[in-house]
Structure formats: C-alpha cells, structure tokens
Structure 1
Amino acid sequence: MSETPERKPRTLDVLAIQDLLPHRYPILLVDRILDYEPGAWIRGVKNITMGELIFQGHFPKNPVFPGVLIVEAMAQTGGCLVLTTVPNRHDKLIYFMAIDNVKFRKPVVPGDQMIMDVKVMTLKGKIAKLRGEAFVDGQKVAEAEFMSMLVDAPQSEAQ
C-alpha cells in the first residue's frame, strides 16, 4: 500500500502578492503567503517592524499596531485568495461590504510576526464572505468576518 505524498505548500512572495493586489507601501499589509487552497483557505504573514510608518503616531512611546490595520491585513490576505481564481484579476478591485464580529484579544507590537488564517464562508459570483483570524506566537490576537465585492477597476487603476 503506497502512501499519498504530502502536498507541497502553495507560496506567494511579495512580488506575486503585488501581482494580485493593487496595494503598495505603506498600505500593503501582507508580506508572504505561506499556503492556500483555492476557493477554501489561505495563510499569510505580516511582519510588524518599528519601521512601519504608522508607529510615528500610534503611539510613539508605546507602539501598538492598530486593530483596523490588523483587519485590513486579514482582508488583503483573503483578497489574495479570491483573486487567485479570477482570470482577469488585473481589471478588478475588491471592496469591503461589511465587517462583523470583530474581536481584538492582545496588542500587536513591533517585533511580532502576525500569521493570518482566512477561510471562505461563502463565495457566490462577485461576493465573498470570509472569516479571518490573526495569531502571534500561536496566540489569537484578532478575529473578524468580512464581506467583499469584486468590481471592475477604473481604467486608471487597472494594472
């Protein structure tokens, strides 16, 4: 009886991520995709460094990565998943429709490596409902559900 070989992870580096998403520094919040299953789930990484522009004002003497950016990072990770299966993705953008059931459990600070797990709840046509969880050192730091819509990009935004 032969064993099934272990599946090699599907990874994406930052250049492949930039090919999927229109975001660029300082708002690109996904550094690497560690693995994904098209249409099902994705795992991404965001390295939190003191060099982040946001830490100049949030908060200078007690730097904390803002919760809204944690949610955005999870959403961008989910956007990578959705866009991997869109044939004309360079002509599309993904917009938030709703953000629900958000919980922040622990501050994220410079030096942390945030791992984001995002799963598809529903994917129907142009609408996606996703659930994201963010972890630092194996501890859940945030979670959220979000809905998004795939729209045609204005000609000036198409890559």
Structure 2
Amino acid sequence: MSDDAIKMPVDVSCILHLLPHRYPFLLVDRVIELEPHARIRVIKNVTYNEPFFQGHFPGRPVMPGVLVIEAMAQAGGLLTQLSTPKDEHKEGQLFYLVKVDNCRFSRMVGPGDQLDMEVKLKRLIRNMALYECCARVDGKTVASAEILCAEGKEA
C-alpha cells in the first residue's frame, strides 16, 4: 500500500487482507493511527464471547498474557505491511514471532476492556523487525515488551 492510499481507520476487512490470522486468532480489530515505517496504534475489543474465557478462568475471566503479546506482534505485522508498497507485497509472506524481551504485565485484561496497543519500529535487521510495544486499557499500561519478528523462509 502506498502511504497516500492508507485511510484511517483501517477496518477488519482490510486487516484480513494484510494478516494471515483468522478467528479465533485474529487479535486486532482496527488500526487507528499510522506513521509508516515508525509506529502504529491499534485496538482490540475484548468481549466475554472470546473462546479463551471459558477456561481462563471460570468465574474470573482474564485474557491470557501470551495473547496480549500475540496481539502486539500482530500490530507489528500490520505496521510492516501498511508501510510496504502494495506492489512489493509477496503472496503468502509470513512473519514469525522469534523473540520476546523485557516483557512486563502490570494489569489484567478482561471482558469489556478495549486493548489500545502502540507499536514502534525500533530496528530493521535484514528480514527481521524489532518492535517496542505497549498495551493499555483506559490509558493505563497493562503490558509491554520488545518483540522480534522474522520473515519465514519458503519451504
């Protein structure tokens, strides 16, 4: 996508073209801010209907921290995809989470929360991207991490 073709907000129908994830693993609902090659802000509306709440935990639903990390990684993927000109997108291109550093969880995320995630591109290294990520609910930080993603090799 060229920078001038990106109109905010980017909705889920566009996100489905940019990420390979599908229900129940697509964890980004909307892109609300974008500075190509620099930062992105996305939201995930957390509802009681999420399948993980059945077992995590009965009577005290909490979004698993690993899924908050995954949501931030998906936001990083969107930053990369939205920053890449459309004619440079590779069909079937996949990026994998390869490292998580300095991960901190400070609050629980539950039904009714809106996860507001900001991801900044910290560094590009060949086929890898290092992201600085922060997730908030109601302006309060719930999680933060540095995430490294790498382009998968063709089989």
Question: What corresponds to 1:21 in structure 2?
Answer: 19
Question: What corresponds to 1:140 in structure 2?
Answer: 141
RMSD over equivalenced CA pairs, Å: 1.6
Give runs of ≥4 in structure 1 deviating > 6 Å.
none
- Superposed CA offset, 1:50-79 (max 9, x none): 000000100011000000000000000110
Question: What corresponds to 2:45 in structure 1?
Answer: 47
Q: How does 1:86-105 map to 2 (within 5 A)?
A: 87-105=88-106
Instruction: Answer yes or no: is 1:82 the counterpart of 2:71.
Output: no
Which consecutive residues of structure 1, in runs of 5 or more, have no partner in the other structure?
Answer: 1-7, 155-159
Q: Rg larger in 1 or in 2? A: 1
Q: 2:29 aligns with which of 28, 31, 38?
A: 31
**Sequence identity (%):** 46
Question: What corresponds to 2:3 in structure 1?
Answer: none
Q: Does the C-alpha gap of structure 1 residues 42 and 153 become closer, same or farther in structure 2, counting only changes over 3 Å?
A: farther
Question: What corresponds to 1:128 in structure 2?
Answer: 129
Question: What corresponds to 1:150 in structure 2?
Answer: 151
The normalised TM-score by structure 1 is 0.87
- Superposed CA offset, 1:86-130 (max 9, x none): 622433101011100000000001000010000000013311000
- Superposed CA offset, 1:28-50 (max 9, x none): 00000001111100000000000
Question: What corresponds to 1:5 in structure 2?
Answer: none
Q: 1:73 aligns with which of 64, 71, 79?
A: 71
- Aligned residue type for 1:118: V
The DSSP-based 3-state class of the residue aligned with 2:80 is helix
Q: 2:58 aligns with which of 39, 57, 60?
A: 60
**Aligned residue-pair number:** 147
The DSSP-based 3-state class of the residue aligned with 1:68 is helix
* 1:79–1:94 contact (8 Å) kept in structure 2: yes
Q: Does the C-alpha gap of structure 1 residues 9 and 83 become closer, same or farther in structure 2, counting only changes over 3 Å?
A: closer
Question: What corresponds to 1:114 in structure 2?
Answer: 115
Question: Take 1:10 and 1:30, find their aligned partners in 2: how far apart are those partners?
Answer: 15
